[in-house]
Structure 1
Amino acid sequence: MPLDDDRYAPTGHAQSHWGVDHLNGPALVGLAAHALESEFGLPEFLPTRLTVDLFKAARGMPTTTKVALVRDGHRVRNSECELVQDGVTVVRATMVQYRLSEPPRGEEWTSATEFPWPDELGAVGVSSMGSDGAGWTRGIAEHQNTTRKRFINRMIDVVEGRDNSPFVRGAMVAEGASLVTNLGSAGVGYINGDLTVAMARLPVDEWVGVQADSHWASDGISVGTATVFDRVGAFGSAVVTAVANPAAQIDFTNDPFPSRSPS
């Protein structure tokens, strides 16, 4: 909820599964994406890469966005955003924009990947979770297994009273790469410290999905990659790194927010 031009108060939708006073990844990613695009977005440029470092737990308190244009080039624009709480930076994000142009000559390799959509889609803010062999459900607990996972969402507006842009929608759902890669047979025991999402184009409508591609883990550190989809097809990739957090492991069979999108 906006308090003024660059200061926001979190609502209950921003609460994280990791703690009652923690904010969730999609809310933080969405706010940073919104601030950067609102200040520096141009119609002739595509916001192609967003990298968000979630290096300190964000709390349920007023949050200020601080943005700066780092480079204003003819073909490449770089900008950055900090989310600040009580004078402390809790999130830092960078956005790379490329000027739209004609493609080069020739044909290139593309990955042969498919995203099986559910038969029915829910309302705003209601996600669907899927995994190989289990199909689609509204809950997450049914997918605490070792198979490939995916989910879709029509995200609520990150800033109350302002519609999410296609870029913000893609960034917020891409943060689910942590969920679809780190969810195992006992829930989620890794907390991601970052997200990098890269888009070749913007999603065509409000529904966005993310599907796991790979998950590598060793000595309490994991790396997950995922593909981001809309109803036309794949349009981007997401990468998350995460660190083990077994003391606060999230078991979705005891989900405190069963009717809400995963966070």
Structure 2
Amino acid sequence: MPPIAFFERESSDLFVPTRFARSLWAPQTLSGPPVCAIAARAAETEFCPEGFRGARFTIELFKAAREIPTTTRGRMSRDGGRIKVVEVDVVQDFDGVETVVARSTSVFVKETSNPPGDRWIPADDDFRPPTAGSDDLFPWFGSDDENGEPAWDQTIGNHQNARRKRMWTRAVWTVAGERPSPFERAVISGESTSLMGNWGSTGIGFINCDLTVGLSRLPDGPRIGLEAVSHTESDGISTSTTHLYDIHGQFGVGLVTGLNNAAAEIDFTSVDTTDRYTEA
């Protein structure tokens, strides 16, 4: 069975969402990861030359993307010798009106070597991924137990609490037939920063309106880990950050801003997400 993907290609620049791109927030809409993925893919495949690599990805999620054909439009806003900045619009046809549903900025930097000298680096956190096979897409979820120790399993509803969240996940492919790059996988998995920070004792009631992923290197291996680092909320606005990990340790950070969306809060104790992964 071929790997599952968020989109299938209809033409050279038009992509049709699959059911794996569907959102739990509202019917016939897309979740955040596929929108981020299609933008990251366009930026990297169309504008990143050899010797450069993705160091930052930021996306503004303007509107809820619909479950309809989707295209991207990219442009180089800075074409420097060491730094290249690419903007990508994610575009859909809303009842005959061409609509930009999201706009990303990707920063690609030239690979060199670290400067001389020693700098402070934080000690390793307590992120210890579970023993999980790499041949399936089903994520592992983690939260601290009563003693503050990480506890892992694959039942999402078991972690609906007010404790620190973790995730050990493998990204769905962006486009069917195209193996996602490490940059794409970092962006797709990094979008779960919102889940890690905004998921509380009654579900996830904040929806993120953006995502920023900062990368000191690209991830190695099929799975990526996220660990909640900070969360603040006031007057219906939240900020959440995560550390991103692979099998070697931390390689990046994630940041999202959330807005109160309690009217459509997702209660993971009553929503079955298993069918999204069983085909993998």
Give the TM interval when normalised to the shorter protein.
over 0.9
Q: Is it true that 1:38 corresponds to 2:49 in the alignment? A: no
Q: What is the Cα deviation at residue 32 of structure 1?
A: 0.7
The aligned residue for residue 183 of structure 1 is 199
Q: Is it true that 1:88 corresponds to 2:121 in the alignment? A: no
Matches within 5 A, 1:69-88: 69-86=76-93, 87-88=98-99
Q: What is the Cα deviation at residue 13 of structure 1?
A: 0.2
AA partner of residue 140 (structure 2): S
Q: Distance in 1 between matches of 2:171 and 2:137?
A: 5
Q: Is it true that 1:107 corresponds to 2:118 in the alignment? A: yes
Corresponding residue SS for 2:27: strand
Structure 1 residues 59 and 256: CA distance shift in structure 2, 3 A: farther
Residue among 122, 127, 134 paired with 2:139: 127
The aligned residue for residue 143 of structure 1 is 159
Deviations 1:178-216 (A, max 9, x none): 001011000100000000000000001111111100000
Q: Distance in 2 between matches of 1:81 and 1:161?
A: 22
Q: Is it true that 1:27 corresponds to 2:39 in the alignment? A: no
The aligned residue for residue 51 of structure 1 is 58
State the identity as a percent. 40
1:215/1:225 contact within 8 Å kept: yes
Q: What is the Cα deviation at residue 124 of structure 1?
A: 3.3
Q: Is it true that 1:245 corresponds to 2:256 in the alignment? A: no
Please report the TM-score for the alignment, with normalisation by the length of structure 1: 0.96
Corresponding residue SS for 1:20: coil
The aligned residue for residue 169 of structure 1 is 185
Corresponding residue SS for 1:110: coil
Q: What is the Cα deviation at residue 259 of structure 1?
A: 4.3
Q: What is the Cα deviation at residue 119 of structure 1?
A: 1.9
Question: 195-204 or 20-29: which moved more?
Answer: 20-29
Q: Structure 2: where are the runs of 5+ without partners?
A: 1-7
Matches within 5 A, 1:201-220: 201-220=217-236
1:125/1:260 contact within 8 Å kept: no
Question: 175-184 or 110-119: which moved more?
Answer: 110-119
Aligned residues: 261
Q: Distance in 2 between matches of 1:77 and 1:260?
A: 36
Corresponding residue SS for 2:44: helix
Q: Distance in 2 between matches of 1:187 and 1:96?
A: 34
Residue among 192, 217, 228 paired with 2:244: 228
The aligned residue for residue 4 of structure 2 is none
Q: What is the Cα deviation at residue 122 of structure 1?
A: 5.8
Please report the TM-score for the alignment, with normalisation by the length of structure 2: 0.90
2:205/2:265 contact within 8 Å kept: yes
AA partner of residue 191 (structure 1): I
2:134/2:223 contact within 8 Å kept: no
Q: What is the Cα deviation at residue 137 of structure 1?
A: 1.4
Q: Distance in 2 between matches of 1:130 and 1:36?
A: 32
Q: What is the Cα deviation at residue 138 of structure 1?
A: 1.1
Matches within 5 A, 1:191-202: 191-202=207-218
AA partner of residue 127 (structure 2): F
2:134/2:222 contact within 8 Å kept: no
CA RMSD of the aligned region, Å?
Answer: 1.2
2:86/2:107 contact within 8 Å kept: yes
AA partner of residue 167 (structure 2): F
